[in-house]
Chain A
Amino acid sequence: DAGVIQSPRHEVTEMGQEVTLRCKPISGHNSLFWYRQTMMRGLELLIYFNNNVPIDDSGMPEDRFSAKMPNASFSTLKIQPSEPRDSAVYFCASQEGELFFGEGSRLTVL
C-alpha cells in the first residue's frame, strides 16, 4: 500500500488566497484525522472523520478553515482566506488501530 498520500507537499501563497490541501487515506481505513504542526503550538488535532462523517471539529481554529470528506478515499482541508499565521505543516492521518501519517503539506502564507 502507498500509505497516506497528501498533496501538495509544499505550497507558498499570498495572504488572502484560498488554499486547498488534499489527502488520500489508506484504503479500508475508516477514520481520518487532520493535524497541524507549528513551532509555537506543536502538533494539534484540527478535525477528524469517521466513516466520512465529521465527528469532532473543535480544533478547527476559526471559520476560515473547513474540511470535507466526500468519500472514503478523499478529504480536503480548505483555508479561505489564508493568513500568515496559518503557515504550518498540515498532516493527514488515517487509522486502523494505530494512526498512519502522511508526509505532510508545508504551507507558507506570505
Chain B
Amino acid sequence: AQSVTQLDSQVPVFEEAPVELRCNYSSSVSVYLFWYVQYPNQGLQLLLKYLSGSTLVKGINGFEAEFNKSQTSFHLRKPSVHISDTAEYFCAVSRFDSWGKLQFGAGTQVVVTP
C-alpha cells in the first residue's frame, strides 16, 4: 500500500514570493508521483507528474517539483506566485501498473495575498 503526507495544511504567501509545498510518500513498490491543483468549486487539474528519468519535473503555470528517492519526497515549488495561484494543491501517488488509482495527500491550501 502507498501513503502520502503533505506536511503543511495551509501556506500563506505574498504575491511574487516563492512557495514550496512539501510532500512525502511511502510505498513498498515503485510509484508514479503527481501534483494536482483544485480551484474553488472545480475539479482537479494535473500540474505535473514524475514517471521516470530526470528528477526535476516542470509543469504548467511555472510550477516544478523534484523527486528525491532517498528521502521519499516530491516537493512542489514556484519561484514567484500570483494571486491566481490561490488554490488547494494535492500530492498523489500511484503504482506503476495502475495510473488512475491515486492515493492522495490531505491537501495544502495556498493563500496568496498582495
Which A residues lie at the B interface, using CB under 8 A?
4, 31, 33, 35, 42-45, 48, 56, 91, 93, 95, 97-99, 101-104
Contacts and interface: CB of A to CB of B under 8 A. Distances in A.
22 contacts: A31-B100, A33-B101, A42-B104, A43-B102, A43-B107, A44-B104, A45-B101, A48-B100, A56-B101, A91-B43, A93-B43, A93-B44, A93-B100, A98-B46, A98-B99, A99-B44, A99-B46, A99-B99, A101-B43, A103-B41, A103-B42, A104-B43
B50 interface: no
Interface of B: 41-46, 49, 90, 99-102, 104-107
A33 B98 CA distance: 12
A33 B100 contact: yes
A93 B106 CA distance: 19
Contacts of A104: 42-43
Given A42-B107, A91-B44, A99 B102 contact: yes
A22 B42 CA distance: 16
Contacts of A97: 99
A97 B100 CA distance: 8
A101 B99 contact: no
Contacts of A102: 43
A73 to B, nearest CB: 18
Contacts of B43: 4, 91, 93, 101-104
Contacts of B41: 103
A100 B114 CA distance: 31
Contacts of B49: 98
Contacts of A43: 44, 90, 102, 104, 107
Nearest to A41: B106
B107 A45 contact: no
A48 B94 CA distance: 14
A93 B45 CA distance: 11
